[in-house]
Amino acid sequence: MKSVFARKETHGFDWIDLSNPSAEEIQEIAQQFSLHEASIKDCMQPDHLPKYEIVDHYTFIIVRVFTQHIIHEADTIQELTNKIAIFYTADYLLTVHRTDQPLVAEVKTKAIDEKGCKDIWCILIRIVRASLLTFDEPSAKLGQSLDYFEENVFLKQRKAPILRGLYYVKRKVDVIRRLLILSYEIIDKIDTPKQRNIYTRDLRDLHIRLQNVYDNLSENTAQLLSAYFSIASHRTNEIMRILTIFSVFFMPLTFIVGIYGMNFHFMPELDWHWGYPLVMLVMAGITLGIYFWFKRKGWL
């Protein structure tokens, strides 16, 4: 769907927004504004990563925004985010996206309807800033998920869903962190010494803050996974230790029982009146001896 948000006659520039455009609409826009074929190809690629590129007479930017309707086990760039392609010069601004993006409508309301912006540069900064802000709320939710899994890892019994949940948290954090790293070039090209102002500095500060938040989340996730496997290994070792202790107690007793269970005809002890009580006392003595030996060594 094609929407005209601003016209050159009234605003000094054109702003055309394309939501889920058809191939014919894209080709029409490409011919009208002389857009390069490679830019159109990147524009239509749904999983393209963020980029900043100067092509001939215009600048081409791709930003990604966190999707509003996310499935629980989403872990890829396309599942977690949506793409907005931006073509701009001093005379026109083109925004292209496959799904409806409320942030574009919000920017249009504040920049055009409420006359908050007088040029394309201001609108561009608002769009990029709004796209970065979509990653702010997910960072808080991912932090809460990490707190939940941390409590389960350290205070509750180990369960398989914990590891599965941690995997998807790690994947989400890594994907968003990668997108923020790739978005650095866009921020760096916007906030240059020649065109720097309070809005571009605010945009860079927002990017740095989000980058630090997701770096911290990534580090915490890695540490929690490491702790999970360490605790799991420790619990396995505890189980093996207990089983080993039991086997040490029963090994000599089994040896004695094995000897007297051979059923040879000439075994003098079989005819002793006190043979059975004596063997039981010997077995009890061996058990007590092993117990006190373990206590002395600090193994119990």
Sign of the torsion formed by the C-alpha atoms of 144, 206, 55 and 123: positive
| pTM, 2 dp | 0.74
Residue 114 is encoded by which pair of tokens? 């409420």
What's phi and psi for 246, nearest 5 deg?
Answer: -60, -40
Q: What is the 3-state secondary structure (H, E, C) of 21-80?
A: CCHHHHHHHHHHHCCCHHHHHHHHCCCCCCEEEEECCEEEEEEEEECCCCCCCCCCHHHH
The CB density around residue 100, as the number of other CB atoms within 10 Å, is 12
The answer to whether the CB of 192 falls within 8 A of the CB of 204 is no
User: Which homologous superfamily is 1-103 in?
Assistant: CorA soluble domain-like (3.30.460.20)
**CA pair distance 115, 133, nearest whole angstrom:** 22
Q: What is the largest CA-CA distance in the chain?
A: 120
Going by the DSSP 8-state scheme, the letter that residue 262 receives in this structure is: S
CA distances from 220 to 136, 225, 273 (A): 17, 9, 70
The CB density around residue 14, as the number of other CB atoms within 10 Å, is 19
pLDDT of the residue at 243: 82
User: Which homologous superfamily is 234-297 in?
Assistant: Magnesium transport protein CorA, transmembrane region (1.20.58.340)
Contact partners, residue 271, CB within 8 Å, separation at least 6: none
State the amino acid at position 300 in one-letter form: L
Enumerate residue ranges in the chain where pLDDT < 50: none
Same fold? 1-103, 234-297: no
Q: Strand pairing of 14-19 and 92-97?
A: parallel
Domain ranges of the chain: 1-103, 234-297
Residue 111 is encoded by which pair of tokens? 């920049």
**CA pair distance 185, 182, nearest whole angstrom:** 7
pLDDT of the residue at 87: 94
Burial class (CB in 10 A: 0-12, 13-18, 19+), 59: middle
CA distances from 121 to 92, 128, 190 (A): 10, 11, 9
